[in-house]
Amino acid sequence: MKYYLTTPIYYVNAAPHIGHTYTTIAADAIKRFKRMQGFDPVVLTTGTDEHGQKVERAAKAAGKTPEEFTTAVAAEFRRQWDEFGLQYDRFVRTSDPRHHETVRWLFERCMKNGHIYKGSYTGQYCVFDELYVNEAKPGDPCPDCGRPTETVTEENYFFKLSAFTERLLELYEKQPDFIQPESRRNEVLSFVKQGLNDLSITRTTIKWGIPVPVEGHHVFYVWFDALIAYMTAVKNTDLWPADLHLIGKEIVRFHAIFWPAFLWAADLPLPKHIYAHGWLLFEHDKMSKSRGNIVRAEPIRKVMGADALRYFLLREIVFGQDGSFSYDALIGRYNSELANGLGNLASRTLTMIQQYRGGVVPAGNAQHIQKVACETIGATADAFYRFEFSKGLEAVWTLLSAVDKFIVEQAPWNLAKKPDCEAQLDSALYAAAEALRVATALLSPILPESCAKIWSQLGMPEPLESVGLDSLAWGQLRAGQKIGQIAAVFPRIDAKPAIEKMRELETQVSAEQAVLLGKAPAVSPQAAPAGPQITIDDFSKIELRVGQVLSAERVKGADKLLHLKVDVAEAEPRSIVAGIAEAYAPEALVGRKVVIVANLAPRKLRGLTSNGMIVAASVEGGKPVLAGFLEDIPVGARLK
């Protein structure tokens, strides 16, 4: 029975970072587990989403054609997945002519069935997020990224998304596991219950996209284009529908609302499940380019190995929820659970077999360890089936801890000195080795490279990939089997030099990726060139005053905006909306003195009046830093 799963089709506005790697590692682990379950074939698709105005502009900035730019970034994704040993089967690029054919085919099916019509749209559009901003006025910032929107008027083709509202609600009700985890299902359900608007699926203002088979210059909108890539990858096979779309939570609406409606409109079967995992936070802050806290996976692989990162991400984070990454936590868990846990157990068990039994596995058994191992097989398989990787790994470490305790209690080093304890020694060594074999098989989807090494050191004649869950049982380690050459699988890592090396490589890889994307490495504030000169008369028009923040709260629906009430020694506090929410917690700003531009014309942002502007410093890719004072200065004082 087949199993077809996909990662997102990653957008080429960024080079691969740890967020992309997290999703793809999880998909790779699921693929390996499904193969252990007996599914055949198990096919994993990944790829790159390469169209849109952002890509067109990025290519121009890089001095490349869109084709050259997207080819270079797609190649970098493939290179990194190959370096990590990720077993993807299909890598689809939305610029591939074969994909163009699939998109046009699905569009024509939707149009023939009466679900597409021609219309026009005038409104504000965020080029960066490729998003129409409802209820925005010319010049208003995008609620997601804070960048200025642009006014566009264009003829579009629209998809009748509103016609599928009730059918979608029925789908979520009758198939509650269509969207997982439950929190994502509830989010989508709430959104759809508010009612859906028809969706513009073409553009006339851009060139870099798939031409629509209609009169005039229309290209497909990114999401109608990108989602169909999942079908392109398996066209002319019997692999569709997908069994699983694995995605990040920020794109769940596109997959759980747009995609089923597109497929229904074309009379095509729906994917069986959509699983949206949480965000990866860096030391408890969301990773983002604007914050300058993006972490790349490649430096970690080079210093610690791919399996170290695989284990940390799937053990540390409850899959489906947000999780935090830090170098200290990565190395701490590696040393305590891989080096001191699994690695130490493998080394001491095999060394004792080599020392006390000449490298030959003895016959014997220990009922207690056998019972724990059998329970572990069931518990781990059940957890992995539900994508509860952390829980499944916890079950395996329960077995490893039981074996460690058993070895200490049995003390084989003492038994080896007593001729009348031969049978007891044999049983202790066999039980430890067999438990190690069971744990290695269960861990192989998570730690494929390391488990292959332990499997070889155990002297197992069959390949690890041939082990199936249904056949995995106690007692399959054959007595008389010769173990392989023993070597450390998880050497301990000294945190300080390792972190220093990873940070050094992070800087190097970041610079290389900047070149790939056509961006100059960030210039330090001290070296930044000055802008065009202004006269003293120009400067005197700007009224800068000292203000004190009286209250601060997040703006609903806008991740980057805070609404501040600022005392500037006027009759009433100023209402100011500032794009600093990703750098400052609201409660940390109350009582703080800031600099504001006091004579800026008021403007509406997200329905709130902003009567002034907060002054902050920033560097490309970094957080804004508020201007402030070392000495006490009265509220309302003017800066000159």
Q: What is the pLDDT of residues 383-421, one digit of tens each?
A: 999 999 999 999 999 999 999 999 999 999 999 999 999
pLDDT for res 531: 62
pLDDT for res 523: 46
Q: Where are the alpha helices (DSSP H) in 283-338?
A: 298-304, 306-316, 327-333
All residue ranges of the chain with pLDDT < 50 are 290-291, 522-528, 620-621
pLDDT for res 522: 46
Cβ(69)–Cβ(58) below 8 Å: yes
Q: How many CA atoms lie within 13 A of 133 on its CB side?
A: 29
Which class in CATH covers the domain with range 329-521? Answer: mainly alpha
Q: Where in the chain is the domain with CATH 2.40.50.140?
A: 536-639
Separation CA 399–CA 434 (nearest Å): 11
Closest CA to 395 of 379, 408, 411: 379
Say whether the peptide bond before residue 143 is cis (omega within 30 degrees of 0).
no
pLDDT for res 526: 47
Q: How far apart are the first and last CA of the chain?
A: 75
pLDDT for res 622: 59
pLDDT for res 317: 96
pLDDT for res 199: 92
Q: How many CA atoms lie within 13 A of 341 on its CB side?
A: 19
pLDDT for res 525: 43
Q: For the segment 428-438, what is each residue's pLDDT rounded down to a tens digit?
A: 999 999 999 99
Closest CA to 311 of 495, 447, 131: 447
Q: Which fold has domain 536-639?
A: OB fold (Dihydrolipoamide Acetyltransferase, E2P) (2.40.50)
Cβ(147)–Cβ(126) below 8 Å: yes
Cβ(315)–Cβ(390) below 8 Å: yes
Q: Where in the chain is the domain with CATH 1.10.730.10?
A: 329-521
pLDDT for res 290: 47
Q: What is the pTM assigned to this prediction?
A: 0.80
pLDDT for res 285: 57
Q: Which CATH superfamily is domain 3-122+158-195+212-277 in?
A: HUPs (3.40.50.620)
Q: Where in the chain is the domain with CATH 3.40.50.620?
A: 3-122+158-195+212-277
